[in-house]
Amino acid sequence: MTYNPIVRQRGVRHRTGRIFIYLCLGLIAAVYLLPFLVVALTSLKDLEEIRDGSILSLPKAPTFEPWRQAWSGACVGLECSGLKGFFANSLMMIVPAVVVSTAMGAINGFALTRWTFRGSNFVFALLLFGVFIPFQIILIPMARSLGALGIANTMVGLITVHVVYGIPFTTLFFRNYFISLPSELVKAAKVDGAGFYQTFFRVVLPISIPCIVVAVIWQFTNIWNDFIFGTTFTSGGNVPVTVALNNIVNTTTGVKTYNIDMASVVITALPTLAIYVFAGKYFLRGLMAGSVKG
């Protein structure tokens, strides 16, 4: 084999470029992960170690007592019952809200792309407008609507808010995905005598798993992390876990229990962390699935 200095030089530049890219990605990841590391380490320390040590120091005697107190609320200085009950509130809220908003978005997306009707573009424009409306604008109208329906300060009312606000996003996801599907599938189903729902459930929906994953992860993350809707439309024992976290952090009396506060933060963030750790790759695949037509 003959020695080719040009090929060797290109290989060196290629490896150098990849090393530089990995170093940059590693630095960015470290910057983003550093706050979480501080929170996790602090949640495993007692108050004396927090006062005397560094925020980045490893716990000398790791303890999960702050986690237990954050979960159950059985500690001095907490004027609430911990996160346990409010964590259940968020679970009861998020399951129907995600399912209903994803299902309605899928049906809307299919109707606006593969089963078009007169004025469908105008309807989609109205739905798309909902994506760009800041949620602060709808607080007062939504509160009045919930009061008129008799579901104000209830879990049903909060679920309704998240469903209504999430439909424009899920409709956009599914419409963009359905556009990329071959139109022959729907035409063949129509020729075979399939109606709207038969075509949707038997032909289109089974091949839409990537988009369903995207919509579910998007809605789950937004609903679970929501604070403003939860604190505006619910109170007392009906609030979600994010509002309860704020109450725990801001109602501590006497000595500031940073370890309990940090443990509460980690507990609240665990579901969304788990979603992206175990399903993050499917989220990216779903986003890319509708980016190329054909």
What's the token pair of residue 209? 């798993």
Output the pLDDT for position 79.
Answer: 47
Averaged pLDDT for residues 50-71:
86
Averaged pLDDT for residues 118-124:
85
* Angstrom distance (rounded) from CA 68 to CA 82: 9
Output the pLDDT for position 5.
Answer: 63
Of the chain, the percentage scoring pLDDT greater than 70 comes to 88
Residues 239/88, Cβ–Cβ less than 8 Å: no
* Angstrom distance (rounded) from CA 158 to CA 224: 12
Output the pLDDT for position 8.
Answer: 60
User: pLDDT: is 204 or 250 the higher one?
Assistant: 204
In this predicted structure, the answer to whether residue 253 has a pLDDT above a threshold of 70 is: no
Angle separating helix axes 120-131 and 155-179, nearest 10 degrees? 120
CA atoms within 13 A on the CB side of 79: 9
DSSP SS3 for 45: coil
**Which one, of 226, 199, 215, lies nearest residue 282 by Cα?**
215
Residue 47 host element (H or E)? helix 47-52
Output DSSP code: residue 59: P
* Angstrom distance (rounded) from CA 79 to CA 77: 6
* Angstrom distance (rounded) from CA 61 to CA 263: 16
Termini Cα distance of the chain:
44
In this predicted structure, the answer to whether residue 77 has a pLDDT above a threshold of 50 is: no
Least confident of 64-73, 119-128, 244-253, 281-290: 281-290
Residues 259/42, Cβ–Cβ less than 8 Å: yes
**pLDDT confidence bin for 76, thresholds 50/70/90:** very low
**pLDDT confidence bin for 191, thresholds 50/70/90:** confident
Averaged pLDDT for residues 180-203:
86
Output the pLDDT for position 291.
Answer: 53
**pLDDT confidence bin for 12, thresholds 50/70/90:** low
Averaged pLDDT for residues 78-102:
86
pLDDT tens per residue, range 28-48: 999 988 999 999 999 999 888
Residue 281: other Cβ atoms inside 10 A: 11
Least confident of 11-20, 128-137, 202-211: 11-20
The number of angstroms, rounded, from the C-alpha of 165 to the middle of its chain's C-alpha atoms is: 14
